[in-house]
Chains A and B, each alone.
Chain A
Amino acid sequence: EDQVTQSPEALRLQEGESSSLNCSYTVSGLRGLFWYRQDPGKGPEFLFTLYSAGEEKEKERLKATLTKKESFLHITAPKPEDSATYLCAVGPGGGSYIPTFGRGTSLIVHP
């Protein structure tokens, strides 16, 4: 059974204080790891897709990295507008193409 565990559940940062969010996964043949951002009262919004270990992608203050067992979402010098819940999902191996989601990390950045 595919499993995705995100840590920490909640993270509070001061503006400018860099940190990382973790997504650990167990899947039989990774076909893709996805990061989403979800603002309160809205649907998840796509950020990144990573397909192979060693791959990295960046967008503004966010950088996603992937190893064979986990992914990190690094937030550099965060701003209050980066406050949101960040969701990780993995695409499974085998014949199913349905991704499995983690429970998310709630990030609050204080000014």
Chain B
Amino acid sequence: NAGVTQTPKFQVLKTGQSMTLQCAQDMNHNSMYWYRQDPGMGLRLIYYSASEGTTDKGEVPNGYNVSRLNKREFSLRLESAAPSQTSVYFCASSEDKGRTDTQYFGPGTRLTVL
């Protein structure tokens, strides 16, 4: 099993450009998450999807949109990138059988917005 995969690994954007970060998991997990990690701030939840067909805002959703394409895939879109969105983005998944479950993380996408 590959676990959680993310593409791309690195990306440089100019202010105002758009892009989509892709995430896929092969563990048949119900829940998927997008986090950003900044120095001194820890992991902050952007959006999550408790099950296929549902998405909800996390702590820092402004400037982002998500799509739960199917059970395996959960994408994060930046419509108009800003320098404040320079960060490392992690996708995670968990089984979540009605309880808080272990999360499995992808390798991350390092995004720089100039």
Given A31-B100, A32-B99, A97-B101, are A42 and B40 also a contact pair (CB < 8 Å)? no
Cα–Cα distance between A93 and B100 once the two chains are bound (Å): 9
Q: Which residues of A contact B98 (CB under 8 A)?
A: 97
* CB proximity of B9 to chain A, nearest CB, Å: 10
- Whether the Cβ atoms of B103 and A97 lie closer than 8 Å is no
B41 at the interface (CB under 8 A from A): yes
Do most interface residues of chain A lie in helix, strand or loop, or is the interface mixed? loop
- Whether the Cβ atoms of B99 and A102 lie closer than 8 Å is no
Q: Which residues of A contact B54 (CB under 8 A)?
A: none
User: Which among A41, A46, A99, A104 has the highest number of chain B CB atoms within 10 Å?
Assistant: A99
Contact of A46 among B41, B48, B104, B106 (CB under 8 A): B104
Q: Which residues of A contact B96 (CB under 8 A)?
A: 97
Q: Which residues of A contact B92 (CB under 8 A)?
A: 43
C-beta contact mask, A76-111 vs B, less than 8 Å → 1, else 0? 000000000001010110000111011110000000
User: Which among B45, B100, B108 has the highest number of chain A CB atoms within 10 Å?
Assistant: B100
- A32-B99, A43-B92 given; 11 more Cβ-contact pairs under 8 Å: A41-B108, A44-B105, A45-B105, A46-B102, A92-B100, A97-B100, A97-B101, A98-B48, A99-B103, A103-B41, A104-B42
